[in-house]
Structure 1
Amino acid sequence: MSTDKRHEVLNQTVADLSQFAVVIHQVHWYMRGPEFLNLHPKMDEFMDEINDILDEVAERLITIGGAPYSTLKEFADNTKIPDEKGTYEKSIPDHVEVLIKGYRYLRELAQEGIEVSGEAGDSVTEDIFIDMQGKIEKTLWMLTAKLGRAPEL
C-alpha cells in the first residue's frame, strides 16, 4: 500500500463502499414484511448513491497517483465491514439496523478522510469526503427516523 495517507484512506473507502453496496443489495433481496413495497425501491436509491460515491473516490485516487482496489478479493481482504449470510429471518427493523451500523462506520471513515486530506492541503479530496459525509448523515437521519429515533450524529 502507498505511504500517502490519502491513498490509504481512499483505498479503504473503495473497499468499504464496495462491500457496503453488497450489504445493501442483500437487504434489498432478503427483506420481507408490510413495508417491503416502500423499502425495496429505496434500497436501489441507496445502492446508486453508494456506487456514485465509490466511483468518485476511485477516480480521485487515480487522479492523485494511486491505484484503487478493483477485485472482489481486494475488496474482501481490505474491507472493515463484516460479511454476513443473507436470511429471510431478519425483520425489517433488523435489516435497517444493519444499514445504520454500516452508514455510521462510513461516516467515521469520511471524517478520517476529511482530516487526512486537510492535513495534506488537498481541498479537492477533502471536499469529496465532506460531500460523502453529508450524504451519509442524511441517510442516517432517514433510517433512524424510520425506527422512531433521532440520528444521534
Structure 2
Amino acid sequence: MSNVKTKEVLNQTVADLSQFSAVIHQAHWYMRGTSFLALHPKMDEFMDEVNDYLDVVAERLITIGGSPFSTLKEFSEQTKIKDEIGSYDKTMTERLSIVLEGFHYLRNLCTEGIEVTEAEGDHVSQDIFIDMKGNIEKTIWMLHAELGTAPEL
C-alpha cells in the first residue's frame, strides 16, 4: 500500500504548523488594546496546542518512513500560511482575525488529510487529523464568539 500522499500532507502540515506558531507568536508580541490581559495568555495556549500537534504530526511522518521539514527555509518555502513583518498598528480584532484565518486554513488541511489518509488506508494518521480537526473547530468557534460572529463551520 502506497502512502506517498499521506507523507506529503503530513509534511505540509509540519510546514504550516511551524509557520502558524510564528504567526501566533507575532500576535502575542504585538497585541495592544482591550482584552490584552485575557488574549495575551490565550496566544500562549494556542502556540502550545499548535506545537503539540507539530510534534505528533512530525513523529507520525517519521514513523511511516518520511522525513519532516526541519529548517526555517523549508518551512518558509513549503507553507501556505502567509506572514508579514510585525507592527503595532493592528487592532485586537485584526490580530484575532489573522489567527482565526490560520485556524480555518488548518481545519481545511485536516479535511484534506482525512481524505488522503482514508484513500491510502492509514487510519492512524487519519485519527491524528480527525483529532486535530475537532480541536481546531472548537478553537474556531471560540475565536468567532470573541469576535461576535458565527463559526461558519
Residue in 2 aligned with 1:9? 9
Runs of 4+ in 1 over 3 A off after TM superposition: none
Residue in 1 aligned with 2:25? 25
Residue in 1 aligned with 2:104? 104
Paired residues for 1:34-113 under 5 Å: 34-113=34-113
In the TM superposition, what is the alpha-carbon distance from 1:100 to its structure 2 partner? 1.0
In the TM superposition, what is the alpha-carbon distance from 1:150 to its structure 2 partner? 1.2
What per-residue deviation string (whole Å, max 9, x for no partner) do you get for residues 53-78 of structure 1? 00000000000000000000000010
Structure 2 residues not aligned, in runs of 5+: none
In the TM superposition, what is the alpha-carbon distance from 1:34 to its structure 2 partner? 2.0
- The separation in 2 between residues aligned to 1:113 and 1:8, in whole angstroms, is 9
Q: What is the letter of the counterpart of residue 123 of structure 1?
A: H
- The separation in 2 between residues aligned to 1:58 and 1:70, in whole angstroms, is 9
- The separation in 2 between residues aligned to 1:11 and 1:129, in whole angstroms, is 13
Residue in 1 aligned with 2:148? 148
Q: Between Structure 1 and Structure 2, how many residues are aligned? A: 152
- The separation in 1 between residues aligned to 2:42 and 2:110, in whole angstroms, is 23
What per-residue deviation string (whole Å, max 9, x for no partner) do you get for residues 15-58 of structure 1? 00000000000000000012110000000000000000000000
Structure 1 residues not aligned, in runs of 5+: none
In the TM superposition, what is the alpha-carbon distance from 1:143 to its structure 2 partner? 0.4
Q: TM-score, normalised by structure 1?
A: 0.97
What is the percent sequence identity of the aligned residues?
66
Q: What is the letter of the counterpart of residue 142 of structure 2?
A: M
